[in-house]
Copies of this chain bind each other. A is one copy, B any other.
């Protein structure tokens, strides 16, 4: 009963400029939310991301497709997606300052497992995690709509170094 490391395959997008493709765009349109040029670009960045991105990474990628995207718009669009429950926000245990990371809501929640020394982050999903959330829902009689789990430790590769120079 043990899940193994996750490879998150993005749902098979091409790199079409700014069309009406992609899961996020589709969802927003269905909700009747206005799709501007900038939003399309940002949504596409999020849809195509193979892993969590921070705001600057999102901006950078968006500007490669359309230089007219402003940082403020990235913030506002992320807010929108958070409010609509379409993306998750993480901070990876503040490994790198207080930067926040964002990723599209996968079909299934996953846990972020970070090495506190080298900062490598791996993903993990498990039936146990689903059970845990069910247990919480049952015990508190509430529907769990958001969940975030981040665990840290010293990974295999770092263990030898850690022995010598304990902490960073």
- Chain A residues close to B by CB (< 8 Å): 2-5, 83, 89, 91, 93-94, 98, 100, 111, 113, 115-116, 122, 124, 126, 128-129, 131-133, 135-156, 167
Inter-chain contact B150/A147, CB cutoff 8 Å: yes
**23 CB-based A-B contacts, threshold 8 Å:** A2-B138, A4-B139, A98-B100, A113-B136, A113-B142, A124-B140, A126-B136, A128-B135, A136-B151, A140-B153, A140-B155, A142-B154, A142-B155, A144-B151, A144-B152, A145-B152, A145-B153, A146-B151, A146-B152, A147-B150, A147-B152, A148-B150, A149-B149
Contacts of A100 in B (CB 8 A): 98
Query: Is chain A's interface secondary structure helix, strand, loop, or mixed overall?
Result: mixed
Q: Which of B116, B133, B137, B149 contacts A145 (CB 8 A)?
A: B116
Inter-chain contact A113/B126, CB cutoff 8 Å: no
Tell me how far the C-beta of A148 lies from the nearest C-beta in chain B, rounded to whole angstroms.
Answer: 5
Q: Which of B131, B147, B156 contacts A151 (CB 8 A)?
A: B147
| Given A113-B136, A128-B128, A131-B128, A154-B147 contact (CB < 8 Å) | no
